[in-house]
Amino acid sequence: MTLDELYDEFDFLGDWESKCEYLIELGFDLPPFPAEAKTEEHRVHGCQSNVWLVASVRGNGPPTIDILADSDAMIVRGLIAVLLTVYSGRTPREILATDPQEVFSRLGLDRHLSSARKNGLLGMVKRIRTLAAEAA
């Protein structure tokens, strides 16, 4: 799914209840995360629930960054799915040019997330942007 398709989907859903249920659906469909990667090194701090994130750079030509992440909270998994749509498979330049706040406010999620979850998201975005900056 592209980011534009995600915007369309969220516009279609309308209210928070439908968006929340959709996030849960996205969470169930999140690509599997290797159990052995659930280590302290990959843990994202700032989240109330456990979140793990790994990123790898795909070389050959302009590099792109692949991201995998997981959480024990299903709505957080849904938010991770949104983040992967925004960031995974993108070039470092694309990643650094994307304003995460804009994405979440465009999706209408910012009003419904607790400050703990916003911090957690920010923690994930920060890690992705750091990796992008290193690969750029």
Partner 1 sequence: MSETIPDHVFDVEAVRRDFPILGKPLSTGKPLVYLDTGASAQKPQAVIDAERECYENYFANAYRGVYQFGDRVSQALEASRETVRALLNAASGEEIVFTSGTTMSINLVSNAWGRKFLRPGDEVLVTEMEHHANLVPWQQITREKGAALRYVPITADGRLDLDQLDEVLSDRTRLLAVTGMSNVLGTVNPIGELVRRAKRVGALVLVDGAQSVPHHTLDVRHPEIDFLAFSGHKLYGPTGVGVLYGRRELLDAMDPFLCGGHMIERVEREHSTWAELPAKFEAGTIPIAQAIALKAGIEYVERLGFDAIAAHERALLRYAHERLGAIPGLTIYGPAVEHKGSIVSFTVAGIAAEDLAVLLDLKGVFVRHGHHCTMPLHAVLGVSATVRASFGLYNTRAEVDALVEAIHFARRKLRLE
**Least distance in angstroms from the C-beta of 24 to partner 1:** 6
Binding flags for partner 1, 30-69, as an x/- string (CB under 8 A): ------------------xx--------------------
Evaluate whether 90 touches 65 at the Cβ level (below 8 Å): yes
Contact between 3 and partner 1 (CB under 8 A)?
Answer: no
The answer to whether residue 17 forms part of the interface with partner 1 (CB under 8 A) is yes
What's the chain's Rg over C-alpha atoms?
14
| Least distance from partner 1 to the Cβ atom of residue 20, Å | 6
Residues with Cβ within 8 Å of residue 113, at least 6 apart in sequence: 79, 104, 121
By CB under 8 A, is residue 117 in contact with partner 1?
A: yes
Q: Does residue 54 contact residue 87 with C-beta atoms inside 8 Å?
A: no
H helix runs in 67-109, sequence order: 74-87, 92-97, 100-106
* For partner 1, the closer CB: 23 or 128: 23
Q: How far is the CB of 133 from partner 1 (least distance, A)?
A: 30
- Residue 20 is among the residues annotated as catalytic for this protein: no
Bridge partners of residue 67, in order along the sequence: 55
